[in-house]
Amino acid sequence: MFEKVLKDPVHDEILFEDPLLWTLVNTSAFQRLRRIRQLGTSYMTFHGAEHTRFAHSLGAYETMRKVVSHLQRECDWPNNQREVRLALCAALLHDVGHGPFSHTFEAVLDVHHESWTYRIIMEDGALRSTLDEVDEAFAADLVSILRKDGRFPGIEALISSQLDVDRMDYMLRDALSTGVSYGQFELTRLIRSFTVRDGRVFVKRSSLHTVEQYLLARYFMYVQVYLHPVTVGSDVLVEKILTRVRDLLRAGERVDIPPALEEVISGNDPSVEAYLRLDESVLLYAFHLWSESRDAILKDLSSRFLDRRLFAPIVRDKPSPGEWAALRTTAKAVGFHPDYYVSERVCNIPGYDILGHGITLIGADGEETDLSQISKLIRTLVPSQEHRLFLPKELIGDGPDPLSHRVRSILYSKS
């Protein structure tokens, strides 16, 4: 008998009964996730949001373990140990490719955590040798599930869909860490709502209201936490720091860069070993270096992030070309380079996505129905967008200065 039990604030206990999974947890590639926050720069907004992708990955694994246990009892699925292991390993390793402040980091440097997850699974020596203990095709099958190639549709849906173990854990974990209550839902009841037919995962129609509760929680978490204006402003600042470094390097300027970051930020194709040396401690150390840079823009941007002097968020309609040009011209007149100090973001608020990605309910008679056909409430959750501008607070001002007045007249002309 093998058993390891970890205490957890969301699930109470996380149980490992397979030594293969425990070996994966103790690889260097997985332990690195301790040094990457789950919510990126959200700790600038919610001071409790210090939890890591390591904790979330363990939680996604535990959620999958509970789902699989339920489906084996009720539906005899999965009916072989290899597929059980595939499901558990996929949940455990689905985020192993994330980088520091992941989504912003990816956008600037054209790094995609999904691609790195595939590469790390296939190329990292410790991970690959552990997975090969099952069989030589196990790692490739695991990547196939994460890619959603269609070979294991049931497991794929549990890993990535509108109702998957990834979201089920991170919503509860993020709500707990940020201190909000509207992200809560009944996880145990939701797990019991799952059923399987012909290798496909469905939700029992009798569990309609449990699924509605989950989707409403997801909506409010996006609106109030994931797309919080201050958090998005923090992301913008990180983006502008990395963009300035990249632009300086392209111009042939010298910039002090930690070795673990240099291979990625220089635009080269780093090795898996090099990428795995990169975490948030490296990036924060770089920000400290750059806060003393000879380049005034890089120095100012880095200091703003470290001291939490963030850009001000302005929610308004999309600026016209004339308004945008006027903002940039005014910013330049004040002394702020518009490429780094005037930004726009379109924040996509997810609703319920029907086309090809809906949640299918199944009745006692076997009839399949999309959730939106039954729930009037869910039909109201349509995707939407919100336009935001981000500028230094000094540029907006609140006094009689004519340039600040000009900026305010542009910003609030269509508020």
Digit-coded pLDDT (tens) for 189-247: 999 999 999 999 999 999 999 999 999 999 999 999 999 999 999 999 999 999 999 99
Of 327, 361, 330, 322, nearest to 344 (Cα)?
A: 327
pLDDT digits (tens, 9 = 90+) for 83-120: 999 999 999 999 999 999 988 888 887 888 999 999 99
CATH code of the domain occupying 311-415: 3.30.70.1370
User: What percentage of the chain carries pLDDT values higher than 90?
Assistant: 86
Instruction: Specify the pLDDT at position 355.
Output: 58
pLDDT for 356: 60
Q: Where are the domains of the chain?
A: 4-227, 311-415
Kind plus residue range of the DSSP H or E element containing 391: strand 384-391
State the pTM of this model. Answer: 0.96
Highest mean pLDDT among 130-139, 268-277, 374-383: 130-139
Average pLDDT, the chain: 94
pLDDT in tens, 69-87: 999 999 999 999 999 999 9
pLDDT 10s digits, 50-66: 999 999 999 999 999 99
Antiparallel, parallel or unpaired: β 360-362 and 368-370: antiparallel
Q: Do the first three CATH levels of 4-227 and 311-415 match, i.e. the same topology?
A: no
What is the H or E stretch that residue 404 is in?
Answer: helix 402-411
For the chain, give the longest Cα–Cα distance.
Answer: 75
* pLDDT over 60 (residue 415): no
Burial track 180-199 (b if 16+ CB lie within 10 A, e otherwise):
beebbbebeebbbbbbbeee
Homologous superfamily of the 4-227 domain (CATH): Hypothetical protein af1432 (1.10.3210.10)
Which one has a higher pLDDT value, 264 or 37? 37
pLDDT, greater one: 117 or 270: 117
The pLDDT-based confidence of 350 (bands split at 50, 70, 90) is confident
> Which whole-number Å values give the CA distances from 217 to 172, 188, 224, in the listed order?
9, 15, 10
Q: Where are the beta strands (DSSP E) in 136-175?
A: none
pLDDT at 411: 87
- State how beta strands 343-349 and 4-8 pair: unpaired
Enumerate residues 6+ apart whose C-beta is below 8 A from 401: none
Closest CA to 299 of 244, 225, 236, 262: 244
Condensed to tens digits (0 to 9), the pLDDT of residues 125-172 reads: 999 999 999 999 999 999 999 999 999 999 999 999 999 999 999 999
What pLDDT sits at residue 302? 98
